[in-house]
Structure 1
Amino acid sequence: MYHSIVRSIVRTAFQTLSEGDKADLNSILKLFAPDARFSFSGEHALGGARQGHLSIRAWFERFQRIFPEIHFTVQRILVSGWLWNTLVNTFFTVQAQLPDGTLYQNEGLQVLRICWGKIKEDHLFEDISKLQNALRCLETHGVQEAGADPL
């Protein structure tokens, strides 16, 4: 039962992110522990590691500005462990229309560690070359933050 609840929460979070710049970030950020760690693989505008609510909020706000219309499809969610130490692996696809008319498509993996109902660690992995190509396209078409250094 507990694992089903965790899968539902994760699926809902990805659905919320699929609302793009209209997504309610507070509904996602309340899932994180105050000292949570969040990382996104690679050296690019969305890459790097951060810790704590303010830093994580800044990342999600940047994400919304860079990809105001994005769609996630959860492929599979694997949950193991108990309330005090739960491991979640989420396999997903993502797509967004780019300003040059091409479609950004990628596959990703999210690795979460949840303790007592709060995310303590969230690590995201995508094909970095595909993401970097999309970020370059966005920067070329006026989304300057897409070419910024990591937060």
Structure 2
Amino acid sequence: MYHAIVRRNLRASFAEVNRGNYAAIVRQFTPEAEHWFSGGHALSGGRHSPEQIQRWYDRLAEVMPDLRFELKKVVAKGWPWDTVAFVEWVDHLTDREGNHYSNQGVHVVRIAWGKITELHIYCDTELLESVLEKLGGQGVGEAVAEPVGDPGPFREARVGR
């Protein structure tokens, strides 16, 4: 029963993202939560405070205002004080010129007593980087800005290309 509730809550959270209601997502994090996105781009790196997590979601809303997720699988394991969930998804968005893009990936979520303690996001970062560069060329400065928070270990690899 507990895992069914977690899966339902995760589906509801992605529905909020699809509506652009990022405030509902930010409220789900504990004050000491880790929010991490793979790659070396404007959305990558790690955040470790509510303010940084809020800034990251503000950036996401600015860069990808019509971002929508289609969930493929939602799995939850563990106890209420230490639950790990995996959400496999395909996303869809449109750039400022009307071109459509889609990526696929997974969110790995650690939850304690209904609050997110860790969120790690993995996707095709090469595809995402190309979309962000395209958006940057269309005048979306946040798409090519430095990451919010800790840029992570992959930033140097990208700069060195």
TM range (shorter): over 0.9
Q: Does 1:114 align with 2:111?
A: yes
Verify the 8 A CA contact 1:95 1:106 in the aligned structure 2.
yes
Q: Whole-Å Cα distance in 2 between the matches of residues 14 and 130 of structure 1?
A: 21
Q: Which residues of structure 2 form unaligned runs of 5+?
A: 149-161
Which residue identity is paired with 1:83?
Answer: P
What pairs with 1:18-57 in structure 2 (closer than 5 Å)? 18-19=18-19, 23-57=20-54
Q: Give the TM-score of the pair, scaled to structure 2.
A: 0.89
Percent identity, aligned pairs only, is 35
Q: Does 1:141 align with 2:138?
A: yes
Deviation at 1:145, TM superposition (A): 1.0
What pairs with 1:9-88 in structure 2 (closer than 5 Å)? 9-19=9-19, 23-88=20-85
Which region of structure 1 is more displaced relative to structure 2, 109-118 or 25-34?
Answer: 25-34
1:98 to 85, 89, 95: 95
Q: Specify the SS of the correspondent of 1:79.
A: strand
Q: Specify the SS of the correspondent of 2:107.
A: strand
Q: Specify the SS of the correspondent of 1:101.
A: coil
Aligned to 2:6: 6
Verify the 8 A CA contact 1:66 1:143 in the aligned structure 2.
yes
- Deviation track 1:60-95 (CA, whole Å, cap 9, x = no partner) reads 110000001111011100100010110001000001
Q: Which residues of structure 1 form unaligned runs of 5+?
A: none
Q: Whole-Å Cα distance in 2 between the matches of residues 98 and 59 of structure 1?
A: 19
- Deviation track 1:5-47 (CA, whole Å, cap 9, x = no partner) reads 111111111111112xxx2222111211110000000111100
Which residue identity is paired with 1:17?
Answer: V
What is the Cα-based RMSD across aligned positions, in Å?
Answer: 1.0
Moved over 6 A (4+): none
Verify the 8 A CA contact 1:100 1:137 in the aligned structure 2.
no
Verify the 8 A CA contact 1:104 1:130 in the aligned structure 2.
no
Deviation at 1:139, TM superposition (A): 0.6
Aligned residue pairs, count = 148
Q: Whole-Å Cα distance in 2 between the matches of residues 49 and 36 of structure 1?
A: 10
